[in-house]
Amino acid sequence: MNDDQTPDREFVSRLEWELESTMRRQGSLNGTSGAMRSVRRRLGTTLALVVASMLAGGAGTHAVTHRVDKEAAALYVARGEALVEIAQTRLDHFAREMAATQARVAEGIVTQREARGMEAEYSHAESEATFRELGLAETLITGKEPNDALSAPLVDGRDFVTERLAVLRRPLQMRLDFAADQALRQKQLVDSGLATAEETAGFAAHIGNMEQELVGHDKRIALRASFLSEELTAAAVELQGMRFAAVTARDTALRQVELLAQHHARLTALSQQGAVSDSELRGIQAELRASEAHVDLAELELRILDDKLEGAAKE
């Protein structure tokens, strides 16, 4: 049988021969009575119906599958076109906002530092529009949804995965630069006594998370390159990508635990002075336990992935 469920001619011929042989054996045993001839005619008719049904069924299955594939492709293309249009609408909006902001900077109404926030928003919208356009370009070739797996094959010799990763990197870097600028301003406020050290610690943790996100993004680009150069198998590159994501999740949770522990210590001291209610203290304790649980889960995930990677290396 073929993959499309259409029977091979060789298979049909073999089936005919098997049935005819059976009828001949029956005839030699029972003679050539009228009843036997009637049975043989019925068997012949049945054989013809079976073969015709199989041929029609195989062709029908192929036709239905082909129609479903075309309908699915049309749906994916329509979805991709809608996503491109939505992203372009957002980009047009932020382009107008960006122009207005730059005009206010020129008039001295808004500082260049304040305008950087809008620049980051515009960069994100611009990258999203390009990202969606690349996705649609891939769908128009494959008839399927864009494949962003690190082990995805090239599409007509084009590496859409790396292209999309590269597009998304710029806004990540811009947001990190903007956050670092805000952190510097926050430190100046602390030095002037206008902000608390705890607020500065929160900014530092936020920046640490963003740095980790950017490092993780670059790691995915490097892993993709290793897969394309055949340094890593498909299984290994996917497991490595999952492992790095688990490391990022653990480190983010650890930073959150550290912040919450400091906040908990401060609230405990205030609670002893009667300045904080028991319910507020219990709330921060619950948050701390939840973050500690995230750390434990990430550690468990890392152990599982390390075992999988060790197994993949032995294969």
Q: What is the pTM of this model?
A: 0.69
Stretch 17-24: mean pLDDT: 54
Stretch 262-266: mean pLDDT: 87
Burial of 309 (0-12, 13-18, 19+ CB in 10 A): middle
pLDDT of residue 119: 87
> Residue 29: is its pLDDT beyond 60?
no
> Residue 66: is its pLDDT beyond 70?
no
> Residue 192: is its pLDDT beyond 70?
yes
Between 47 and 288, the more confident residue is 288
Q: What confidence tier does 180 reach under pLDDT thresholds 50, 70, 90? A: confident
The span from the CA of 250 to the CA of 210, in Å, is 14
Q: What confidence tier does 269 reach under pLDDT thresholds 50, 70, 90? A: confident
Locate the domains of the chain by residue range: 9-60, 126-314
The span from the CA of 78 to the CA of 72, in Å, is 10
Give me the chain's average pLDDT, please. 81
The span from the CA of 288 to the CA of 142, in Å, is 47
- In this structure, which amino acid lies at residue 94? F
Helix (H, G, I), strand (E, B) or coil at 155: strand
> Residue 287: is its pLDDT beyond 90?
yes
Q: Are 116 and 178 in contact (CB under 8 A)?
A: yes
Which pLDDT tens digit goes with each residue over 218-228? 999 999 999 99
Stretch 20-30: mean pLDDT: 50
- Looking up tokens 């298979």 gives 11
Query: How large a percentage of the chain has pLDDT more than 90?
Result: 45
Question: Which range is least confidently modeled, 97-106, 207-216, 268-277?
Answer: 268-277
Which pLDDT tens digit goes with each residue over 93-130? 999 999 999 899 888 888 887 788 888 889 999 999 99
Stretch 50-57: mean pLDDT: 53
Stretch 77-84: mean pLDDT: 96
Measured CA distances, 230 to 122, 163, 223, 236, 305 (Å): 37, 19, 11, 11, 21
Q: What confidence tier does 62 reach under pLDDT thresholds 50, 70, 90? A: low
